[in-house]
Structure 1
């Protein structure tokens, strides 16, 4: 059984009110009002009091420019896809807490697909984001696949969110699942897609943050569920292309778990289809790491040894962070750390700065 954890985090500069045109983000806000400028607003309410009752219907209506989809409290089941021809979509939960709005589905890799075969890992995603410039604030994305209820399904990867678009950002968002919760990816192996997560909560057990995106996690809580086994799981499974200098960066985060001490790894290198150019990168810096992480924090993945990946830490603290001599626990030098920063990962040629403007 999956154990849910609520995390209260600071709101930061971005608020629900700011995303819906400066008005109070309440369930009584009038639907369909323009935001000013070129944005339009769509209200989703499960009880039928908004413009639409479902999330996908609102996404389908988000044409002709940037759109804010304001979601009233409730649980919204069903697969959601934000296609590449829907750029600039923002989803904001109108509840007081992240858990007041839940967008979820319950498929796994091995779940039968009505069209034939099974869904596969990519197809299991509750929410798929291909549209560039997507933002989400103050809500929860979940994959509710129940492993215990389906012993006949052995391929249990069950993605809550798959991102493939560039310049996607999440603030005060929860991502809930077990194996493969958050798939931060791109549209092709050599395509760079950036994703930013601030004041978020991500939970899972096996490879629950994975993919080839350039993804920054700032002030997030990363919670490993207790599977009751050894190993108890792996936090990250990056597949960063060798041509991309920036994979996953965790800055000022907290790595927590109720699992036994030294039973969880910070990551292992994923090589999709045995791709030799997938030289994954995970950098963890200035973060608290609890005792579920052991002295050897990284693991091989099949025949792929972890020392060949780009794994490193810098100035972490907590009972699971005590560095041992290399190569067991690689540490950045101060000079290297100066190049592995949030701006270095996000800016690109277009100067994208969600860490400053959200």
Structure 2
């Protein structure tokens, strides 16, 4: 499933895929760099949730009977904020369904503890801050998660919030039917979930449409780059033949004999010529991006276009470091390991890390230890 998701990033898609495609994909999956800027929304809404909780608590402090339970509710609110902010960090991309589920579970726990802290004295249901705070956190997920999931989680949470509110209203002896008060707390949560889902679906639909419209341009640019690479490799091969192999052979003809030194030189030139020919045939693109390449089986050629683009971005970010790349079989797939030395300019910024994590699910990126491990399946199976 993870591999199929990764292939969606680079595979041609049709805008006509319609609502199904828009509901299944995530904005972060199609636009990893957008997730870098979206992390600011996580901070903004987290601050808004905390400010809402503090303001409503101070304004209606007479309704709270149990300070310990209220403090637990605030601790759970802090946990929700921590999960949201950490999950939105590019270095931890992608924002997973587990993080979204944790937001809802912790948020619902905060709803329960706040209700318990004012059990029997909650005369102003509209002042309950936990459901409102959860609604704000749900809005953040619109930047990262698929629309169907957002709606499902928000709907389930709204049912729980409504049940807690109705029970609290009955305990407080409020005059109106419990469903009325449930609407005051669950309504904003449902509205936030619907809005976040609509935002996610709209953004995904526009990204898919843009990819379809620019597919021809991108394919043309890619073919142009390949043509330039082939020309460069051909020129390198001709330079090798004309500048070194040709004079060496002419010298042998003039001398009419060979010795150990000549044999060694012949092997050296033969190996260089073989590498040039293989590079042209297999389009070994990675060799020019790193200082050292250990790929005896030619596994770099098994990457697809999306994977190559992501690795090229990482190598470009580390272009001022001495970088080595090693490719080897790992189980049923292939593992690419990038390592680089200390010193020099360049680093793997959060935007590059976000792209790598989206293209290579389960990748191990350790900038502090100066290595990256990327697992992938060979292109074409």
Greater CA radius of gyration, 1 or 2? 2
TM-score scaled by length of structure 2? 0.22
Higher helix share: 2
Q: Tell which has more relative contact order, 1 or 2 (C-alpha 8 A, sep 6+).
A: 2
TM-score scaled by length of structure 1? 0.23
Higher strand share: 1
